Amino acid sequence: MITRTLLTLLALVAIAGGCIPAVTSVGAAPVIRAATATPQPRPTPTPALPPEVAVQSPALLPAAVGDLSNAAAWDRYTIIAALSPGDLSVRGTVSLDMLNRYGINLDRLYFHLYPNHPDFGGRLDVTSASVNGVPVASGTQYSDTLLHLELRTPLRPGQSAHVVLGFSARTPKNASGKTFGASNFEAGVWSMANFYPILARHLADGGWDTRQIESRGDFTVSGVALYDVTIDAPNGWTLVSTGVSISDGPVNPQVHRQRFVSGPQREFYLGALQGLAHAEALVDGTRVVSYFQPGSADAGKLGLEVAKRSLRAFNTRYGTYPLTELEVVQSALTQFFGMEYPGVVLIEQKLYAKPSGDLEPIIAHEIAHQWWYSQVGNDAQGEAWLDEGLASYSQAIYYEASNDPQSIENELQFFRDTFSFARSVGRDAPLNSSSADLGGGRYYPVIYAKAPLFFHALRGQLGEAGFDRFIRAYYTAFRYQDVTGPDLLRIAQQSCSCDLAKIYKDWVLTSAKVAIP
């Protein structure tokens, strides 16, 4: 996510000629890399998959279908729901097939009900709950944003449970100026982020993640799962989602039924569009689609080109994006510039009015989140610097692949100016600060400026070859997993066979006055 806090910062950071520098470079003289075609790995023989797992295969590139052989490590969501545009509601059931992998008896299950957070301006009600076919008692806390189910019999380690929740969700309309625009109907986009109950993470220390949701940064912190989602929608609405559509047919003359399946993903995004145009292309086996308002056709087509270049650049630098679809949607977000979901990114509509401005780096940033958040996960409420720092630094890496040294330097200089100003007025903080700890105007400069500068400083210390080894090893080691700061440090030190404890301590663990690279 990139927030509207940027607008305030722009008023504070003087930019020569009125231009807004965007991302950063590596050292005084940035290293420019030409984009190269990404060789597609040969598909490896895939073990026979159970039918309920094999059905997810269309969401993955042939070379990545083998990832599904690890399906036992992930829970499975099956959602069956119907859209009612008249009252902007979604009603249905979510079935969760889960396994107790946690080594302790579970007497409760916890679910996040994100739309009940005041920032969403909507509502998510659970209307019924059963576990293994038996109705169970439930309760909520934190203004109905956290639901718990009371298990009649504790779920022992290694045991599975089939949880069925009836639910009804609704979103506001034309509310992006005051609420979370990714859950809203405005400008032809009905965005239904987090419309279903999401199982909370169970932490390594043996407890559920039951923290109260902070408004700063990204809301959702969830585990990897497989999704099979069937939606009934009135004709005339184009559905966009995480994953791919595997069937679409009429229910009656007014309604069609569409089924979507995902690869291993951290959440399922659903949107319904009216009146938007689109352009699409195929990049390294992935279908890339740009949806845009008809009056923004030129910018929408530019958005497609930026998405294509981003995908090629990050495939080359980080490792191949494993999914068969990626969608970019012009949306009314208003309070922030972009928002990422697995396989879908939303971009603030006003950026399309001046595509020569921030549209390009914002799209690159949100697409980078397909690696740093969607594939390599982290605690977005506790260590937001991990994904946001790399997504922001990816803006510079995108321009490196485009062989554009001035834009690289502009991006880096913007990070430098933003962090320097924040530090001068006492707004520095350790990178590993939680969202809750970054009040007082510190969240944006620490997470979106200091964090990418840390990766720039790390690159300077590792050298070009070492940084390339690190970034690819980091992606490979933690795909479909959750990473922490110490994990990143370990992979970086292995990449250079060197001691990085000081740079990590100065930037991540403390607010020492570091040299700005």
Confidence of residue 8 (pLDDT cuts 50, 70, 90): very low
**Mean pLDDT computed over 134-151:** 97
* Residue 47: predicted pLDDT: 61
Q: How many CA atoms lie within 13 A of 495 on its CB side?
A: 26
* Digit-coded pLDDT (tens) for 64-95: 999 999 999 999 999 999 999 999 999 999 99
* Residue 356: predicted pLDDT: 86
Domain extents for the chain? 2-31+284-509, 74-266
* Residue 128: predicted pLDDT: 98
How far, CA to CA in Å, does 227 sit from each of 84, 97, 269? 22, 11, 10
Q: Is 250 exposed, middle or buried (0-12, 13-18, 19+ CB in 10 A)?
A: exposed
Model confidence at 17: pLDDT above 80: no
* Residue 216: predicted pLDDT: 83
* Digit-coded pLDDT (tens) for 195-205: 999 999 998 77
Q: How far is it, in rounded angstroms, from Cα 379 to Cα 261? A: 25
Nearest Cα neighbor of 324 from 306, 343, 303 is 343
Query: DSSP string covering 149-187, please?
Result: EEEEEEE-TT-EEEEEEEEEEE--BS-TTTS-TTEEEET
**Mean pLDDT computed over 206-226:** 92
Model confidence at 16: pLDDT above 50: no
Model confidence at 12: pLDDT above 50: no
* Residue 452: predicted pLDDT: 98
Model confidence at 297: pLDDT above 70: yes
Higher pLDDT, 411 or 33: 411
Model confidence at 493: pLDDT above 80: yes
Q: How far is it, in rounded angstroms, from Cα 135 to Cα 422? A: 53
* Residue 217: predicted pLDDT: 85
* Digit-coded pLDDT (tens) for 38-60: 344 444 445 689 998 999 999 99
* Residue 326 zone, left/alpha/beta (φ > 0; ψ -120 to 50; rest): beta
* Residue 3: predicted pLDDT: 59
Largest CA distance in the chain: 68
Confidence of residue 345 (pLDDT cuts 50, 70, 90): very high
* Digit-coded pLDDT (tens) for 379-413: 999 999 999 999 999 999 999 999 999 999 999 99
**Mean pLDDT computed over 185-192:** 98
* Digit-coded pLDDT (tens) for 409-455: 999 999 999 999 999 999 999 999 999 999 999 999 999 999 999 99
Higher pLDDT, 51 or 268: 268
Topology of the domain covering 74-266: Immunoglobulin-like (2.60.40)
Average pLDDT, the chain: 91
Number of helical (H) and strand (E) elements in the chain, helices listed first: 10, 24
* Residue 243: predicted pLDDT: 97
Planar angle of CA 321, 323, 327, nearest 5 degrees: 95
Model confidence at 258: pLDDT above 90: yes
Does domain 2-31+284-509 fall under CATH 1.10.390.10? My reply is: yes
